[in-house]
Amino acid sequence: MRTGVFFHPEFSLKDWPIIGNKYRNFPEVMRKVLSQEDVTLFESKPATDEMLLRVHTPPYLKEVKQAWYYKGASLAVGGCVEATERIARGEIVNALAFAVAAGHHAEPSSAWGGTYLSCTGPAVAHVCDQIGTRRFAILDTDSHHGNGTRAIFRNDKNVLHVCFCDEDRIEGDGTKIDVDVGYQTNDGEYLEKVRREFFVRARKFKPFMIFHNFGHDTCEGDYGDRGLSQSFFPLLAEEVKRCADEICEGRYLIITHGGYLRDIAETIFPRIIEILARP
């Protein structure tokens, strides 16, 4: 078994905050790739309170539990935590975890932008407890700044966070980096920035695994349009996978983030699974 895909039927049933119903035709649109020998579909399980309280405050968790999207958010986090643990244990090499209502805008006690629970926070905390592994790299190529991820790991020097957004900034001890990608860019320029600003740092940092907050809201016509084409996204996944192969034995988890255009999601995610499953 090489590649895990973490999904739950709940994700296809609702019109989620910000990203809408882009998973309406999933997992059907992935049927062909899911039948590949090296790909396994896992049904995401809800995150436990214990996992969520590692990063969120009790009053905040109590509040978010009242929201209609809580079930989806909790399943998204649970999928990420399980994917991380299975990768860390060597049961799978890499994975694609689908997320709704959870992701990089969720801070310990507040959130916005359609993501209300942290995915990487509980995943890192859980795997540190279970396996004792500490060093992680988080790449964020959603169109928007990953304020939640940054807030959660701000003082953790064992987490490299490189976020491609709107300004050039290096915070703290140099493990928290933002890169201005420009309001309008193109596939080649963006990839070159990822090579220069993420790959170079990740090689030096030597993480145990790479998390990738993977938005496609940067695509032409989507709500965070930076002028990227649909073919950019599989190329990006392919390059990061190669980087993970080189520096951390291939351990790589893609977590879906922003973007609401269904045709883009239906095109890129099956293709990305094919890429992850390649030896």
Which parts of this chain interact with Zn ion (CB under 5 A)? 142-145, 163, 165, 178, 215, 217, 224, 258
Quote the least distance from Cβ 189 to Zn ion, whole Å. Answer: 17
Residue entry with tokens 């649109």: 29
Quote the least distance from Cβ 132 to Zn ion, whole Å. Answer: 29
Dist. CA 16–CA 6, nearest whole Å: 18
Six token digits for residue 138: 């988080």
Quote the least distance from Cβ 80 to Zn ion, whole Å. Answer: 17
Six token digits for residue 121: 């926070």
Quote the least distance from Cβ 146 to Zn ion, whole Å. Answer: 6
Contact in structure between 210 and 202 (CB atoms under 8 Å): yes
Give the residue with the Cβ less far from Zn ion, 72 or 224: 224
Quote the least distance from Cβ 112 to Zn ion, whole Å. Answer: 11
Give the residue with the Cβ less far from Zn ion, 40 or 185: 185
Distance set, CA 58 to CA 75, 128, 157 (Å): 19, 21, 25
Give the residue with the Cβ less far from Zn ion, 92 or 210: 210
Give the residue with the Cβ less far from Zn ion, 156 or 178: 178
Give the residue with the Cβ less far from Zn ion, 88 or 99: 99
Nearest to 111 by CA among 146, 138, 139: 146
In one letter, which amino acid is 52?
L
Could you list the beta-strand ranges (E) of 103-193. 136-140, 159-165, 169-171, 176-180
